[in-house]
């Protein structure tokens, strides 16, 4: 298949009115890449890239040089691909103007554009007023793939400055496995006890991934 006709099918389907969201991951990636090589058509290039990087989430987490090293992509296509992921992230951020942390789902939806696709854990503190309104989204630490190390003084520092009525602590599991670890449980207990001493209660500890969340309060750990 030559480059001129490589995108004919998915492109024409969209032109005829089919919504882009119904295209497969391979077809979406092929449209972004735009062309293949002399030896590989763009659909095959997109398919192999998705397989090699673990799907679109894996591609989104990849570095520029890492992507550029994939046969058939190179620097230009790598920049275009990363720019498309960044555009999606910014659009999602602009659409989610959630300022009231009224439920674990609201917390997850708020954090998703900040934490989706991250290769390492981040630990954040959502600082709340007395109506569960968000006063500040504070990044406390960036850990390894397996853990985010936090200390109560770092967790409550901005909360004290803001005169918070409560906090929600949050971190992501890059693996996608939402099962709380022993460290997650111990951190919840430690921060909850510190909050009782300080007078700023821990409302919840929400663990998030790209595809879901778990509330430590709802799960009975708080």
Q: What is the pLDDT of residue 85?
A: 86
Q: Where are the beta strands (DSSP E) in 65-149?
A: 122-128, 134-142
Supply the pTM of this predicted model.
0.61
Q: What is the pLDDT of residue 171?
A: 93
Q: 156 Cβ partners below 8 Å, 6+ apart?
A: 167, 194, 195, 198, 200
Query: Which positions of the chain have pLDDT values less than 70?
Result: 1-8, 91-98, 144-149
Q: What is the pLDDT of residue 119?
A: 82
Q: What is the pLDDT of residue 147?
A: 54
Q: Give Cα separations from 213 to 114, 148, 165 (angstroms).
A: 14, 17, 24
**Domains identified in the chain and CATH numbers:** 8-94 (1.10.150.20), 96-215 (3.40.140.10)
């Amino acid at each position: 298949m030559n480059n001129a006709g490589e995108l004919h099918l998915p492109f024409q389907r969209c032109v005829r009115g089919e919504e882009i969201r119904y295209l497969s991951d391979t077809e979406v990636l092929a449209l972004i890449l735009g062309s293949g090589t002399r030896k590989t058509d763009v659909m095959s290039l997109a398919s192999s890239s998705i397989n090699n990087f673990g799907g679109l989430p894996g591609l989104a987490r990849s570095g520029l040089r890492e992507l550029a090293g994939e046969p058939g992509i190179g620097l230009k296509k790598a920049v275009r691909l990363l720019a498309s992921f960044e555009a999606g992230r910014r659009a999602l951020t602009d659409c989610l103007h959630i300022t009231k942390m009224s439920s674990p789902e609201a917390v997850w939806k708020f954090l998703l554009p900040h934490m989706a696709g991250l290769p390492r854990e981040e630990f954040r503190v959502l600082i709340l007023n007395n109506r569960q309104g968000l006063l500040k989204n504070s990044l406390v630490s960036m850990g390894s793939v397996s853990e985010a190390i936090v200390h109560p003084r770092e967790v409550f520092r901005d909360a004290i400055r803001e005169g918070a009525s409560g906090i929600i602590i949050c971190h992501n599991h890059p693996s996608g496995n939402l099962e709380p670890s022993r460290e997650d449980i111990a951190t919840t207990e430690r921060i909850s006890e510190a909050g009782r001493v300080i007078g700023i209660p821990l409302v919840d500890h929400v663990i998030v991934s790209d595809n879901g969340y778990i509330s430590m309060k709802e799960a009975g750990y708080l």
